[in-house]
Chains A and B, each alone.
Chain A
Amino acid sequence: MLRWRVSQLLVASAVIAATSGARAEDARFPPIRLSPLATAGVWTLAQLVPSPLLVTGSSHVGGGVRWQITPFVYAFGLAAHPVRFFVIEPVARHAGAIELYASPEWACCASNDGTSWIGRVGSRVYLPIVGYGETLAWSAGASYYRASEGDGAAVEVGAYTLFGVLGFTVTVAPNLKRREVISALAIRYF
């Protein structure tokens, strides 16, 4: 049901965006398009939507949020033009791709019992499972993190549905004390 609700929101947004673009044009024969400014605005807002985290340490459980920026994707599952920078269509990731990403996180359970930032850069490979990745895809990756407790390496796996808008990832960093396992409800649009 959650999958349906989120997909409905996605389609609703698509319909509204498409028709809103239409109304801004000439009344009789409008060429329908989103303006570059609107496109950039929607993309920026989409990047600002955080993914909620569940932080699990040896003796702590808490929350957090994560954002992601994707400077580069090589989409080997596409029929043409596999290279993307920053603006990544869902199929470019989930039909099969390798991405480089940077990810700021604001997560609980730091060594001082407070919440603190974790900075992360990493790489993931995405592979489609069902519907050329639109219905179901998975990923595996590794990252380098820097936090108040120090820096180190992490590995992760993930699964994604609904054109990749919704996913679940688990990141494991044995040396990130009290925050060894971070699960994320990954929310991403472009």
Chain B
Amino acid sequence: MALASCGFVGRILTRNLSAPSEPRKVEQKIEDPRRADARLAVLWVGHATVLVQMDDAFVLTDPVFTRTVGQVSPRLVEPGLDPIHLPSLTAVVVSHMHFDHLSYDSLGMLEQKTKIVLVPPGVRSSMPHYAFESRELDTWESYEAAGLRVTAVPVRHVGGRWALDQAWNSRAFTGYVFEYHGLSVYFGGDTALDEEKFVATRKRFPALALALLPICPTEPRAFMRRVHMDTIEALDAMSLLGAERMVPVHFDTFINSDDQPGDCPRLLREHMRERHLGPDRVAILAAGEQRVLIGK
């Protein structure tokens, strides 16, 4: 198994080394993401970075705007929204400390955009000091401001940032539910399928209008299944959570698995057909694409 692990890591490194040095351009980037016609809109910036609009509240998830993550893995596609074009953010959430979710430089770009960044337990002691307030939320704990309530919800993943620190950051990963004006949105961060946790979340939040769910990385499955959902599990999660809609995230932005770009959305579309789920239920966005899910 150790040899298999080394082989996997070697393949990922080789692919990252041979990745294009310039990320693919996003054509016609949105410069004003505020949608007057939306009660609920999402803009997929890339990877796990999503701008969620709930009426006049804006939440940004796992902001990563940098050219690489961990100084190693280059972006395959540029961010679908430039940080300068972000509206004033009601809250920013970070799901865990891995380089592709907690980007110190990207948070630095948000110092004038937000007053609060919410993180899981233990993360503040591994974060630089910024101009905004950072606050740790334990499972089921909530933060409220300006009518927005953000609650940390349980997921199954792994904490830490530099491998060794996962030993004492054993609770440093979370999902979130955002509630505003009667709308509820789930953000899974990174998670494996965990029926118990998803059902517990559904019991507390029985009317999720949207679930932002990771669908990648999936391969090698034996390697990934303990910490990441695959596409069919993401649809299972949507069902377990009782979410009306799903927007998939965490794919085709960085190379962190044996998956090829395009694999995960293609598989998701196949499973959607099998389950008779249309684009009204599962909206697969391109980087930089914004979708109004509930209009006014």
Could you list which residues of chain A lie within 8 angstroms of chain B, going by C-beta atoms?
A: 3-4, 7-8, 10-23, 25, 29-36, 38-39, 42-43, 46, 77-81, 89-92, 95-96, 128, 131-135, 162-163, 189-190
Contact = CB atoms under 8 A, between A and B. Distances in A.
Interface in B11-40: 12-13, 16-17
Contacts of B226: 19, 22, 25, 30, 32
A12 B5 CA distance: 9
A189 B227 contact: no
Given A79-B134, A81-B124, A21 B129 contact: no
A162 B71 contact: yes
A43 B12 CA distance: 25
B164 A42 contact: yes
A91 B125 CA distance: 9
Interface residues of B, number: 44
A178 to B, nearest CB: 38
B167 A34 contact: yes
Nearest to A43: B164
Contacts of A46: 164
Query: Is chain A's interface secondary structure helix, strand, loop, or mixed overall?
Result: helix
Contacts of B227: 18, 22, 32
B167 A20 contact: no
A79 B163 contact: no
Given A30-B226, A190-B164, A132 B128 contact: yes
B5 A132 contact: no
A84 B156 CA distance: 28
Give the top 7 A-B pairs by smallest Cβ distance, nearest first: A14-B163, A39-B167, A81-B125, A80-B124, A12-B9, A17-B163, A34-B167
Contacts of A30: 226
A163 B97 CA distance: 14
Nearest to B168: A39
Contacts of B160: 18
B6 A33 contact: no
Interface string B221-232: 001001100000
A18 B165 contact: no
A97 to B, nearest CB: 11
Given A8-B16, A12-B13, A14-B162, 5 more contacts: A20-B5, A42-B163, A80-B127, A81-B125, A162-B71
20 contacts: A7-B71, A7-B72, A11-B73, A13-B163, A14-B163, A15-B12, A16-B9, A19-B223, A25-B226, A29-B156, A32-B227, A43-B164, A78-B124, A79-B128, A89-B126, A89-B162, A95-B104, A128-B128, A131-B71, A190-B164
A77 B129 contact: yes
Nearest to B99: A11
Nearest to A13: B163
Contact of B128 (A29, A34, A42, A91): A91
A81 B124 CA distance: 8
A8 B160 CA distance: 18
**Of A21, A25, A34, most B-chain CB atoms within 10 Å:** A34
A131 B162 contact: no
